[in-house]
Amino acid sequence: MKHVLLAGLALFPLLSQAAIPLNDDFAVQVDLTLASDYRTRGISQTQNDPAAQAGATLLHSGGLYAGVWTSNVDFGFGLKTRQEVDYYAGWFWQAAEDVSLDVGYLKYAYPKEGQFNQSEAYGILSAYGFKAAAYYSNDAPNIVGKDQDTLYTYVGYETTLLPADVGLLLRYGRMDFKDPLYWSQNGTGSDSYREWEAKLSYELFEVKWGLSYIDTDLSDDQCASNYGFTDTCGATVVASVSKSF
């Protein structure tokens, strides 16, 4: 049985001050993360097991960037892939001190299970801590393996809670599909779901420690109808530790 697998980068920081300068125009940023679960858009990509993730981004002073990111995955059902590899490129425009626009293209690849490969174009508008984003794909595989259109949108907010210097991230998203993919026990189909996250983070010993609460509005029946499991779409707490340089 084939499943639609929702992959994606989870708001990783671009153009961070942690980037390593190569010359006056170019810098490299490396991001390393260990997490108790790999959740993207509310869905576990590791059967609720831990994940080790790494990424590298080449940054240009004009705002252009390109990079690669990878994580272990486990979709069950004897599927051979154990890795997700994402390739991305885009342009980051700092319009003002607290206003920016990020547009780009993502390619998701799954070694040994290429039928799950897909791509997305995205845009993220940030203003004074608030974010609004959209990710569009026209080649996402559906439950019978045919390409379909998808649209993921979210709104969010990031700030620092003083005086404790604790980071706060809030996100509310919606995932829309062209075809119904989620089926209730009574036979009712749905072509969308909603997901949300609240995350606290803190810098200690030169690494960032994170704790997230993540959930979706998918029922157990709806989750099992598309992903084959009842426990990969529900509420969970994800602990993480990350380092950027």
> What's the pLDDT tens digit per position in 54-69?
999 999 999 999 999 9
Among 170, 176, 212, 178, which Cα is nearest to 192's? 176
The model's pLDDT over 235-245, given as tens digits with 9 standing for 90+, comes to 999 999 999 98
Cis peptide before 163 (omega within 30 of 0): yes
Which pair of structure tokens corresponds to residue 243? 């380092």
* pLDDT at residue number 144: 57
* pLDDT at residue number 17: 57
Cβ burial of 40 (10 Å; 0-12, 13-18, 19+) is buried
* pLDDT at residue number 14: 43
Q: What's the one-letter identity of residue 93? A: W
* pLDDT at residue number 163: 94
Model confidence at 15: pLDDT above 50: no
The model's pLDDT over 191-219, given as tens digits with 9 standing for 90+, comes to 999 999 999 999 999 999 999 999 999 99
Residues 239/36, Cβ–Cβ less than 8 Å: yes
The model's pLDDT over 78-100, given as tens digits with 9 standing for 90+, comes to 999 999 999 999 999 999 999 99
State the Rg of the chain over Cα: 18
Q: Give the angle 33-130-45 at the CA atoms, nearest 5°.
A: 35
The model's pLDDT over 128-184, given as tens digits with 9 standing for 90+, comes to 999 999 999 999 886 655 788 999 999 999 999 999 999 999 999 999 999 888 999
* pLDDT at residue number 166: 98
* pLDDT at residue number 8: 39
* pLDDT at residue number 9: 40
How large a percentage of the chain has pLDDT more than 90?
Answer: 84
Average pLDDT value for the chain: 91
pTM (2 d.p.): 0.91
Domain 20-244 adopts which CATH fold? Porin (2.40.160)
What is the dihedral angle through the alpha carbons of 197, 203, 208, 212, rounded to the nearest 10 degrees?
Answer: -20
Mean pLDDT of 123-127: 97
Which pair of structure tokens corresponds to residue 103? 């547009």
73-102 in b/e burial notation, b at 16+ Cβ within 10 A? bebeeebebeebbbebebebeeeeeeebeb
